[in-house]
């Protein structure tokens, strides 16, 4: 397909406004024009795509917490695994993501990091989801809130180790999930926040006071709200209460109806509003595959009925698609599509400091565009100007 593309007659969810019956001109990787269809001139030289008038163009989704999909996992530490993820994710509307590692033997983590680092040395193909960095989930977490992070590999925050890992990835670590209450936690948070890396409180048993210290040190993000964190009590708010109380914290949330009950998604939205939540999948390799047994960090995971669980029943990542999360949060909270886009695209881009080129539909930005049909199902996805997925296509 040509790199001159014209999307015609579509409702465009651009920054802050809805352009009804509009058009978008894409040249190479960028959006170059966007306006009402009545203002369209110079259609020549463009490949024209015209969709039903009820369809909507929205910014591509950004998944800051995803381990795997379609049989591949970041911990496989292969180019093929990352290729598989990048090629598969546009089907669910994801156009950018953080390759997310998990708690493992440090050698395994290092292999995975080195692999991503090498992958990112070359310019990534258009027409695939873009890896915009690494999310390091563990190993610096609290053994008491391990969840599916293997206990034996959890270690205390180790700044010199982290620095060596940054080198392995050529400084592409963009988000670190850690437990601030562990020895060295605050020091690491301070380092991260002063080096442009998001410090995220997660797999943590922190008290309200400990969370406040983490915020003072620069933490501004929370990993999968509610899951694997100290709960709310009226004399100890815990991490959950802290998220409700402190606006500095943006909260990831897994809106699959399994990790968090729909009403509790509603409550999080009621308190944090659209600016405070970030939709993630936390998905593992079984997504897009059949029910069965799969590996997650050397552990057996059973996937059945929309759930992925360890043998003891512990939830072990999800098989959620980000496009489904978008639909779910609208259903659960009654928010608008525009609000949901904030949580799926705008907020993660801002949090990762890439909002200058991603996260919204605007002239000059990457043409990461998802077209949703009348049911808000993903109909087409463009990744940096190139068509990456068409519903019903091959």
Give CA–CA dist 372/10, Å, rounded.
Answer: 10
Identify which of residues 268 and 354 has a Cβ nearer to its own copies in the complex.
268
Give me the residues paired with residue 229 across strands.
204
Q: Is 137 annotated as a binding residue?
A: yes
Identify which of residues 80 and 247 has a Cβ nearer to its own copies in the complex.
247
Q: Is 234 annotated as a binding residue?
A: no
Identify which of residues 192 and 308 has a Cβ nearer to its own copies in the complex.
308
> What is the dihedral angle through the alpha carbons of 319, 377, 23, 275, rounded to the nearest 10 degrees?
-60
The catalytic position among 63, 205, 256, 282 is 282
Written as six digits, the tokens of 209 are 């006071």
199 CA to centre of own chain: 15
CB of 244 to its own copies, least distance (A): 5
Written as six digits, the tokens of 1 are 């397909």
CB of 226 to its own copies, least distance (A): 4
Q: Is 386 annotated as a binding residue?
A: no
Binding site for its own copies (CB under 8 A): 208, 226-227, 231-237, 240-241, 244-245, 259-261, 263-264, 266-267, 270-271
282 a catalytic residue: yes
Rounded to 10°, the helix 262-276/322-333 angle is 100
CB of 222 to its own copies, least distance (A): 13
Q: What CA–CA distances, in Å, run from 186 to 29, 102, 163, 289, 292?
A: 40, 21, 15, 40, 40
CB of 209 to its own copies, least distance (A): 10
CB of 227 to its own copies, least distance (A): 7
Give CA–CA dist 9/192, Å, rounded.
Answer: 44
Give CA–CA dist 116/99, Å, rounded.
Answer: 8
Close Cβ partners of 225 (under 8 Å, ≥ 6 residues apart): 240, 243, 251, 252, 253, 260, 268, 277
The SS3 call for residue 57 is strand
Q: Which amino acids are annotated catalytic?
A: 282
User: Which segments are annotated as binding site?
Assistant: 137, 203, 224
User: Which segments are annotated as binding site for Zn(2+)?
Assistant: 137, 203, 224
């Amino acid at each position: 397909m040509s790199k001159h593309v014209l999307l015609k007659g579509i409702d465009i969810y651009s920054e802050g406004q809805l352009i009804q019956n509009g058009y978008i001109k894409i040249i190479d990787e960028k959006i170059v024009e966007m306006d009402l269809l009545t203002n369209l001139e110079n259609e020549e030289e463009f490949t024209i795509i015209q969709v039903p008038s009820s369809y909507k163009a929205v910014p591509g989704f950004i998944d800051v917490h995803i381990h795997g999909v379609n049989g591949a996992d970041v911990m496989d530490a292969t180019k093929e695994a990352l290729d598989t993820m990048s090629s598969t994710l546009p089907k669910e509307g994801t156009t950018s993501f953080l390759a997310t590692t998990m708690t493992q033997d440090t050698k395994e983590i290092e292999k995975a990091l080195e692999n991503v680092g090498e992958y990112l040395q070359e310019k990534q193909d258009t027409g695939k989801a873009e890896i915009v960095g690494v999310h390091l989930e563990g190993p610096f977490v609290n053994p008491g809130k391990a969840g599916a992070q293997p206990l034996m590999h959890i270690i205390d925050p180790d700044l010199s180790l982290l620095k060596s890992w940054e080198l392995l990835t050529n400084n592409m670590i963009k988000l670190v999930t850690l437990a601030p209450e562990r020895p060295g936690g605050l020091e690491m948070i301070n380092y991260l926040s002063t080096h442009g890396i998001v410090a995220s409180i997660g797999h943590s048993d922190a008290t309200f006071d400990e969370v406040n210290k983490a915020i003072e040190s620069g933490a501004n993000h929370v990993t999968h709200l509610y899951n694997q964190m100290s709960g709310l009590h009226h004399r100890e708010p815990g991490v959950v209460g802290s998220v409700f109380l402190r606006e500095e914290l943006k909260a990831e949330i897994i809106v699959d109806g399994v990790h968090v009950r729909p009403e509790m998604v509603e409550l999080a939205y009621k308190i944090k509003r659209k600016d405070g939540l970030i939709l993630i999948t936390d998905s593992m390799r079984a997504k897009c595959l059949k029910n069965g047994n799969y590996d997650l960090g050397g552990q057996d995971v059973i996937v059945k009925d929309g759930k992925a669980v360890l043998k003891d029943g512990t939830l072990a990542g999800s098989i959620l698609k980000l496009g489904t999360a978008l639909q779910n949060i609208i259903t659960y909270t009654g928010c608008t599509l525009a609000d949901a886009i904030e949580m799926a695209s705008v907020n993660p881009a801002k949090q990762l400091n890439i909002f200058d080129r991603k996260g919204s539909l605007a002239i000059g930005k990457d043409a990461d565009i998802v077209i949703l049909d009348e049911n808000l199902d993903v109909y087409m996805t463009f990744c940096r100007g190139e068509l990456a997925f068409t519903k019903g296509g091959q």
